[in-house]
Amino acid sequence: MTEANPPTRRTDPNPDPLPVDEAAAVADRVVENVERVIVGHHDVTEHIVTAILARGHLLLDDVPGVGKTMLARSLARSIDCEFSRVQFTPDLMPTDVTGVNVFDERTREFEFRPGPVFGNVVLADEINRAPPKTQSALLEAMEEAQVTVDGETYKLDQPFTVIATQNDVEADRTYELPIAEIDRFAKRLTLGYPSPEDESEVLRRVTGGHPIEELDAVATAEEVIAARETVADVTAEEAVRDYVTRLANYTRDHADLGVSPRGSIALLRSAQARAVLDGRDYVVPDDVQSEAEAVLAHRVRTGAESAAQSGRELIAEALDSVPVE
């Protein structure tokens, strides 16, 4: 068999784009819905929704137990699509992620059994605990939106968004992600501990039944795909493109490792998604600024010579100093 069977239900890959206001409405509904479960992370939720609309993947840096899984699950549930989860462990094999060909005794043929990556929202938990080979299997899937097993290539169903988490607590038992791979995540976000008020609200909500069980879908996968088309069509005039370039150049001039062109592309895409979220069919510099930190900060390495202590500081500095024209 040369053509792999679609293992899951497939969606129309090229729907007509939604009008901007409808796309904005879809995004709003999703954000609102997720927030029925997730307390106090409005910004992060919005970032995740824009990342999905911009066809990006996310890296969540966090301590365990702050609601990463719950966030991913509520998101998947809100857009009515498959949610899958892989717990990365040191003994996890690449095929454990991508899927494996299993010999069917009855048909005398190998049958492809898709792995957890064949989901629409994939939560890759503690990605830094798996060996690099396994990590790269996931990263290939993220980049290409397909997996190759035993020479066979399988397209992944759309929408497809990986939400990977890293655990910084037990650094000695992890394989740190190489910079080249980190670059493939559109955004890196941090949830952080909730504020006392938010935390008590969380506690209030979990007493009785867990709210996620009552969560309904507010958008279809088709709508999300159509909204992605809308985002792709958003105008980015030269003034904005130029601004993005100047921001990237600033990081290159002021850090050991600056933002790659891939980073610039991700920033412009995210800004497009942000514009849609705001109900506009054109990008303004404000969109770029809203997305810059999440999209760029993890891509730069500040060295001893840079004034900024961290990627975040450097990006904040760039936003302050690069003139908006």
Partner 1 sequence: MSADSTPSDASVKNRLSLGDASVSYHHLAVGSLAVLMTTYLSVLFHVTDIVGGTTTLLGLVAATLLAGTLIARRLRPKQAVVLAAVLLALGLVGYYLAVPSAYLVAMSLGKVVSDNVALLTGLSVLRMTEVGAWALGVAPAMVFAPWYLVLRRRYALAVGAAGTAMGFFVLTGDLSSFLTLVGMLAVTATLGFGTLARRGGTPEQVDTLAVVLVAMILLASTVTLVPGGGASPILPGGGGTPTVEDAFVSNGERMSIVGSIRLSPKVRFTVESEEPGYWRVGAYDRYDGNGWIRTGEARDYGPQPAPPGRSRAVEQTVTVKAERMAAMPAMWRPTRLESGDRDNTRVSPLGAFDPVGALREGEQYTVVSRVPDPSERQLRDAGTDYPARIENRYLQLPGSSEDRIRQRTNRVVEAADAETPYEKATAIEGWLESNKSYSLEVSRPDGNIAESFIFEMESGYCTYYATSMVTMLRSQGVPARFAVGYVSGQRVAEDEWVVRGLDSHAWVEVYFPDVGWVRFDPTPGGPREQAESSQIEAARQSNVSNVDTDESEEGTWTPTTTETTTVSGGNETTSPDGNATTVPSTPASGGLGDRQPINPGRGASNETFGGFTTTSGGTVGEEEDDESGGIPIGPPSREQTILGGLVAVGLLAAGRRSGTLERLRRAVWLRWQPREDPETDVSRAFDRLEYLLGREHRERRPGETPREYLTALEETTDLDDRATRVGSIYEQVRYAGDADDGLADEAVSLVDELVSDRRGLLGAR
Task: By CB under 8 A, name the one of 280, 298, 299, 312 that touches partner 1.
Answer: 280
Nearer to partner 1, 79 or 248 (CB): 248
Task: By CB under 8 A, name the one of 8, 89, 235, 310 that touches partner 1.
Answer: 235
Query: Among candidates 162, 155, 156, which has minimal Cα distance to 138?
Result: 162
Residues recorded for the chain: 325
What is the closest distance, in whole angstroms, from the C-beta atom of residue 252 to partner 1 in the complex? 17
Task: By CB under 8 A, name the one of 121, 284, 297, 315 that touches partner 1.
Answer: 284
d(CA 58, CA 84): 15
Q: Is 14 exposed, middle or buried (0-12, 13-18, 19+ CB in 10 A)?
A: exposed
Within 13 Å and on the Cβ side, how many CA atoms surround 304? Answer: 0
Task: By CB under 8 A, name the one of 153, 179, 282, 310 that touches partner 1.
Answer: 282
What residues contact residue 306 under an 8 Å CB cut-off, 6+ apart?
Answer: 254, 255, 256, 314
Task: By CB under 8 A, name the one of 169, 180, 307, 324 that touches partner 1.
Answer: 324
Angstrom CA distances, 212 to 101, 120, 197, 271, stand at 34, 18, 20, 30
Task: By CB under 8 A, name the one of 283, 296, 300, 315 that touches partner 1.
Answer: 283
Nearer to partner 1, 70 or 322 (CB): 322
Residue range at the interface with partner 1 (CB under 8 A); choices 47-55, 115-123, 262-270, 279-287: 279-287
- The answer to the question of residue 233 lying near partner 1 (CB under 8 A) is no
Listing DSSP states for 14-40 in one string gives SPPPPPHHHHHHHHHHHHHHHTTTS-S
Is there a contact between 264 and 242 (Cβ–Cβ < 8 Å)? no
Phi, psi of 85 (to 5 degrees): -140, 135
d(CA 226, CA 15): 6
Nearer to partner 1, 206 or 239 (CB): 239
Nearer to partner 1, 203 or 324 (CB): 324
| Contact pattern from residue 299 through residue 318 relative to partner 1, giving x for each residue in contact according to CB under 8 A and a dash for the rest | -------------------x
Residue range at the interface with partner 1 (CB under 8 A); choices 3-11, 73-81, 120-128, 234-242: 234-242
Binding residues for partner 1 (CB under 8 A): 235, 237, 239-240, 280-286, 289, 318-324
